[in-house]
Amino acid sequence: MKNYLEKLINQENLTTEEMKDAVNYCFTDAVTDSEIAAFLTALQVKGETSDEITGIVDVIRNESLFQGTSISGAIDNCGTGGDRSYSFNISTTSAFVLAGAGVTVAKHGNRSITSKSGSADVLEQLGVSLSFTKEQIEELLLENQIAFLFAPNVHVALKPFTKVRKELKIPTIFNAIGPLTNPINLDSQLLGVYRQELMPILAEALHKLGRRRAVVVNGAGNVDEATLAGENQLMLLDDGKITSFTLRPEDVGLPYYSKDEIRGGNANQNAEILLSVLKGKNGAYYNTTILNAGIGIFANGKAETIEDGIELARESIDSGAALAKLEYLINYSSRIPSEVF
């Protein structure tokens, strides 16, 4: 580890294999919390490369007991976090809209680290289990087209990193790679990122990790979701080709809303917002959700344009399909024995 730390401190990039070696060492009993903290901090200061991201993601996914499910064609729409915008749970709300539109969603997420309410916090508040087994995940994806993969449950080996991240209380490479470590073999992905300079790096990493199609988005105001506050920066990965474009509210016929208008609160407040959107209450939350769900449907390839995706998202909510996906997940969770839930 000392050699790798020295390279990082000297602003030298690690190869994919060096990154794998360093991360594998972090999973051994020989590593100390100080070494992990130094490693994460040095990477953050230097700046991550697509090779380094690919290396750490490969190791983490290989450590997960949830890898190797028989599901195909799934998408994830998890953002990196770290933008400190304190918005409502946009990607979690959008995930149910995606599922209601017929897209299979393997929603990967965690509790709050740099925000007031993470995806796990709000779903737990709604009565969704955080302890699904691999078999239950497969069943839910087949029958309900959406399941939630709670990161600590599917990445048990990451406990040493989790402890250090909580103590550091700063964004690390895990804020960039969290969405990439989903153990399901994803076909497509919508990845929000708050650091615009990470967009091409993550797009390249998505390609190296085998995504057929993906969209990386940096929202107006450097938010890790698309917003209606101005110009959003997007990168589309389509069969290995990466193209960049911008998206403004008027481009897709949606109104302007400031970032303050999509602020959320604690898990209980965000759960109420999520339900209000899925029940069709119009406003900033609703329109921000259909924007992000529309981009997700486009990223999956179910819609040829983002405008078409937004219309499918609107139909998913208005028909009740999106809410039905959540209700199914809650009912399924209620049947899990209490010692598992």
Mind listing the pLDDT tens digit for each residue in 126-180? 999 999 999 999 999 999 999 999 988 999 888 888 889 889 988 788 878 989 9
Tokens at 230, concatenated: 């101005």
Mean pLDDT of 251-269: 95
Q: Is the pLDDT of residue 339 over 60?
A: no
90 is in an annotated binding site: yes
State CA 77 to chain mean position distance.
Answer: 5
> How far is residue 145's CA from residue 96's CA, in Å, rounded to a whole number?
9
CATH of domain 75-334: 3.40.1030.10
Q: Which helix (H) or strand (E) holds 125?
A: helix 119-126
Query: Distance between CA atoms of 41 and 78, rounded to whole angstroms?
Result: 23
Token pair 């790096």 is found at 201
User: Is 111 annotated as a binding-site member?
Assistant: yes
pLDDT of residue 165: 86
* % of the chain residues with pLDDT over 90: 81
pLDDT at 143: 97
Task: Please tell me the distance from the alpha carbon of residue 39 to that of residue 42, in angstroms, as a whole number.
Answer: 5
Band of residue 269 on the pLDDT scale cut at 50, 70, 90: very high
pLDDT tens-place string over residues 36-56: 999 999 999 999 999 999 999
Question: Is 49 known to sit in a ligand binding site?
Answer: no
Q: Is 338 annotated as a binding residue?
A: no
Residues 6+ apart with CB under 8 A from 329: 128, 140, 144, 146, 147, 148
The pLDDT of residue 341 is 39
Consult the annotation and say whether 108 binds a ligand.
yes
137 is an annotated ligand-binding site residue: no
- 204: helix, coil or strand? helix
Q: What is the pLDDT of residue 28?
A: 93
The confidence score (pLDDT) of residue 116 equals: 66
Residue 91 assigned to a binding site: yes
CA distance 127 to 327: 10
Question: Is 112 assigned to a binding site?
Answer: yes
Q: What is the pLDDT of residue 69?
A: 78
Query: What is d(CA 259, CA 284) in angstroms, rounded to the nearest whole number?
Result: 9
Q: What is the pLDDT of residue 274?
A: 98
Range(s) of the chain covered by CATH 3.40.1030.10? 75-334
| Residue 328, pLDDT above cutoff 90 | yes
Residue 68 is predicted with a pLDDT of 77
Let me know how long the chain is: 341
Return residue ranges of the chain for CATH 1.20.970.10: 1-63
Q: Is 319 annotated as a binding residue?
A: no
| Contact (Cβ atoms closer than 8 angstroms) between residue 232 and residue 226 | yes
Q: Is 55 annotated as a binding residue?
A: no
| 177-236 pLDDT, tens digit each | 989 999 999 999 999 998 899 999 999 999 999 999 999 999 998 899 999 999 999 999
258, containing H or E segment: none
Q: Check pLDDT > 80 for residue 313.
A: yes
110 labeled binding residue:
yes
87 is in an annotated binding site: yes
3-state secondary structure of 216: strand
Predicted local distance difference test score (pLDDT) of residue 338:
55
User: What is the pLDDT at residue 160?
Assistant: 84
Per-residue model confidence (pLDDT) at position 340: 42
Give me the CATH code for the 1-63 domain, please: 1.20.970.10
Residue 82 has a pLDDT of 66
Res. 292: pLDDT tops 90: yes
257: pLDDT strictly greater than 50: yes
According to the annotation, is 224 in a ligand binding site?
yes
- The pLDDT mean for the chain works out to 93
**162 is annotated as contributing to ligand binding:** no
pLDDT of residue 110: 85
Write down the pLDDT at residue 114: 54
Please say whether the beta carbons of 329 and 146 come within 8 A: yes
Q: Print burial letters for 248-280: b (CB count within 10 Å at least 16), e (below 16).
A: ebeebebeebebebbbbeebebbbbbbebbbee
Task: Determine whether the annotation assigns residue 177 to a binding site.
Answer: no
Query: Given pLDDT bands bounded at 50, 70 and 90, which one contains residue 113?
Result: low
Residue 181 counted as an annotated binding residue = no
Q: Which amino acid is at 306?
A: I
